Structure formats: C-alpha cells, structure tokens
Amino acid sequence: MSVHSIAEAKTQLSRLIDRAMGGETIMITRHGHPVAEIKPVAKATAPMTKADLDWLRSRRLTRKIPGLDAGVFVSEMRDEDDERLLRH
C-alpha cells in the first residue's frame, strides 16, 4: 500500500487509479492522517446459469421442520440478539 497526501493524489489521480486497477491499494492522507483509500473494485461474478440453479436445487434440503418458518426463525434470532445487547 502506498500513502499519498490529498495534494499528491490530486496531481497524480490518473496514475494512482492505474495502480489501483493493477491491484494496489492507495491510502490518501490529510495532515498525515488516513482519510480515504483507492483500491481495486472486486471482480464481478458471472451470472447464475440454469446449470448453477439445477446444481443448487439438487443439493437443497427438502425436508421441512414442522412449525419452523424461515421468517419467524430470523425474527426470533434478531429478537434474541436485541435482548442480549440490552442486557450488556
């Protein structure tokens, strides 16, 4: 990671972006303190294909637990987390 002041970054922005595109993370500082980063964007993943969906479908659990609804389950987990935070 290289470190550059805002003034340096303004005058060298194109070059710094090229370096970020090459995989480097660039730290931008103001008065010696980090304030921003220029870093490469994560590569986009390929869209899901029918074969991908078929593969997932073939491995999906098909048994259901009686009385267990995903929405209710998530809500209960969130409520437990809220209660735990309130106790601390």
- The pLDDT tens digits for 45-83 are 888 899 999 888 888 766 666 777 778 878 887 887 777
What is 2-38's CATH number?
A: 3.40.1620.10
pTM above 0.85, yes or no: no
Reduced to 3 DSSP states, what percent helix, strand and coil does the chain have, rounded to the nearest 5?
Answer: 50, 15, 35
Residues in CB range of 36: below 8 A, 6 or more apart:
27, 28
Structure token digits, residue 82: 């809220």
Identity at 3, one-letter amino acid code: V
Statement: residue 15 has pLDDT above 70: yes
Q: Quick one: pLDDT band at residue 88, thresholds 50, 70, 90?
A: low
Q: Tally Cβ neighbours within 10 Å of residue 81.
A: 10
Residues 6+ apart with CB under 8 A from 37: 25, 26, 27, 28
